[in-house]
Structure 1
Amino acid sequence: MKKEQSRPNILVVNDDGVTAPGIRNLIEAVKEFGNVVVVAPDGPQSGMGHAITIGKPLRFDRVHLYEGVEMYKCSGTPVDCVKLAVNRIFKGKKPDLCVSGINHGLNNSINVIYSGTMSAAMEGAIEGIPSVGFSLDDFSEEADFSHCIKFVKTIVRQVLDHGLPQATLLNVNFPKGADLKGIKICRQANAKWAEEFDERKDPYGRPYYWLSGVFQNNDKGEDTDVWALENGFVSVVPVQFDLTAHHVIPILNSWTFND
């Protein structure tokens, strides 16, 4: 990998695939800050969470889609992309920043658990790289990302200037539309999907299922990412990958396990 030592090295990843409009906009937003290296799946990998590829080989090929940008496509998951980038491109010398997205569709609230976009950013954080995931409330291939760019630049500049606390990353979500009120630091809302499986029949009469559902917000707080997005703010939620429920440890210590 060729790099200018005076400029930060920025790893760009996503889960929508190497040709997605969202990643093109993210590249444009961050390239002024440093040397950009892109590693992205060769096709859509939405909803993959923190999956990794085991038991079969990965393909990893250089592509030339944007002038002046070092770019690779990977046959694996978003997390595979980060792992390969750190191991094979940067060869253990970590990039200064990892940014993921801009995803087509929100990754607020419980969606952070399922998101390939956020899992790629989380893998960056696990590697000790300051990392941010970006998502827009628009699934369309013709989604307009223009109103996101100045906020991406602001957040990237702050992270490069200040870093992030160890074992944390940022989950950034943008509402659809240009009239944004600013950035709001939030907590993750207590919301979930009420899921349904639509049963259908194939030509042989065998059942198959399509997952669908309705997003239910059970959290009425005005300090959540759901509230921020519904009220025209860019939501920024600090996320950690330590899943320990620390508040439950004293409760479990009061139980009798060793009689």
Structure 2
Amino acid sequence: MKNKPLILVTNDDGITAPGIRTLIAVMQEIGEIVVVAPDKPQSATGHAITINNTLYLNKISDDNSPFLEYSCSGTPVDCVKFAVNEVLKRKPDLCVSGINHGSNSSINVIYSGTMSAAVEAGIEGIPAIGFSLLDYDWNADFESAKKFIKKIALEVLENGLPEGVILNVNIPKLKEKEIKGIKICRQAKAMWMERFDKRKTPQGKDYYWLTGEFVNQDKGEDTDEFALEKGFISVVPVQFDLTAHHAIQTLNTWKLNEKN
């Protein structure tokens, strides 16, 4: 590539999170970057947008900074919308979201603010990738992920992505030499078996904590969960067209238009 690509960097853990600082460092090796990220943690916000509250965008980089950096009071999706409509002078060549502190494999993609930011970029026609490390520790070691993140980002810049497709990349909690490679996968059919832990305040008022157990009922060897368990990085192509195309023919057999 003759000219440096323009790369938008965002996340859902907040602009100060070690994960996004690592992602910024990697993307600086590839191109010109602009950062627009939440000013506070926004995990599990899904594809939420802010419509009933004011939004604030604060420039936090100065004239001596090697890149533009903004914090946003809204959700990860708000950050992408702000970047596209208010900050960037042209459409970026790539949007990367993360590195998330924790897994976004299988059903977690539905709840993920990290992936929703990437999906929003995809809706805008921007090639996009969401990166997650399977370590929820704020002080997680992201060093082993750097080489692979750079490789995947360069491949997307070189080859593009199919229309309407975003990549969901999950990285096992392993040292670089222990990671066996990268596998293209499908999303595992797994879910959270949830319950609410009921407690009482000192004043006797009931309150609840959401808790639960992650259950993978998918025995396939082509899934993200299987790849991660075996020490591979999983790459799942995700689409934002939620149409269940395979069900259209079945639904057309219903007697929906018959008069009673």
TM (normalized to structure 1)?
Answer: 0.96
- Residue 204 of structure 1: CA displacement? 1.9
Structure 2: how far apart are the matches of 1:106 and 1:39?
Answer: 22
Deviations 1:141-166 (A, max 9, x none): 11001110010011001000011011
Deviations 1:12-47 (A, max 9, x none): 000000000000100111112111000000010000
Structure 1: how far apart are the matches of 2:94 and 2:187?
Answer: 23
Q: In structure 2, the residue corresponding to 1:124 is in which secondary structure?
A: helix
The percentage of counterpart residues that share the same residue type is 63
Q: Does 1:25 align with 2:31?
A: no
Q: In structure 2, the residue corresponding to 1:33 is in which secondary structure?
A: coil
Q: Does 1:174 align with 2:210?
A: no
Match of 1:225 in 2: 224
Q: In structure 2, the residue corresponding to 1:184 is in which secondary structure?
A: strand
Deviations 1:223-249 (A, max 9, x none): 000000000000000000000000000
- Residue 57 of structure 1: CA displacement? 1.1
Match of 2:93 in 1: 96
- Residue 56 of structure 1: CA displacement? 1.4
Q: In structure 1, the residue corresponding to 2:29 is in which secondary structure?
A: helix
What amino acid does structure 2 have at the position aligned with 1:125? G
Q: In structure 1, the residue corresponding to 2:104 is in which secondary structure?
A: coil
Match of 2:245 in 1: 246
- Residue 203 of structure 1: CA displacement? 2.2
| Structure 1 stretch displaced more, 61-70 or 158-167 | 61-70
What amino acid does structure 2 have at the position aligned with 1:175? P
- Residue 67 of structure 1: CA displacement? 4.0
Structure 2: how far apart are the matches of 1:41 and 1:203?
Answer: 34
Structure 2: how far apart are the matches of 1:67 and 1:173?
Answer: 30
Structure 2 residues without counterparts, runs of 5 or longer: none
| Structure 1 stretch displaced more, 154-163 or 65-74 | 65-74
What amino acid does structure 2 have at the position aligned with 1:13? T
Structure 1: how far apart are the matches of 2:80 and 2:202?
Answer: 41
What amino acid does structure 1 have at the position aligned with 2:82? L
What amino acid does structure 2 have at the position aligned with 1:50? H
Q: What is the 5 A alignment of 1:192-207?
A: 192-207=191-206
What amino acid does structure 2 have at the position aligned with 1:81? C
Q: How many residues matched?
A: 254
Q: In structure 1, the residue corresponding to 2:186 is in which secondary structure?
A: coil
What amino acid does structure 2 have at the position aligned with 1:75? S
Q: In structure 2, the residue corresponding to 1:160 is in which secondary structure?
A: helix
Structure 1: how far apart are the matches of 2:202 and 2:106?
Answer: 38
What amino acid does structure 1 have at the position aligned with 2:237? P
What amino acid does structure 1 have at the position aligned with 2:54? P
Match of 2:102 in 1: 105
TM (normalized to structure 2)?
Answer: 0.96
Structure 1 residues without counterparts, runs of 5 or longer: none
What amino acid does structure 1 have at the position aligned with 2:72? C
From 145, 149, 159, the counterpart of 1:148: 145
- Residue 206 of structure 1: CA displacement? 1.2
Structure 1: how far apart are the matches of 2:130 and 2:202?
Answer: 41
Structure 2: how far apart are the matches of 1:82 and 1:217?
Answer: 32
Match of 2:186 in 1: 187
Match of 2:159 in 1: 162
Q: In structure 1, the residue corresponding to 2:125 is in which secondary structure?
A: coil
Q: In structure 1, the residue corresponding to 2:98 is in which secondary structure?
A: strand
Q: What is the 5 A alignment of 1:11-90?
A: 11-64=8-61, 67-90=65-88
Q: Does 1:136 align with 2:133?
A: yes
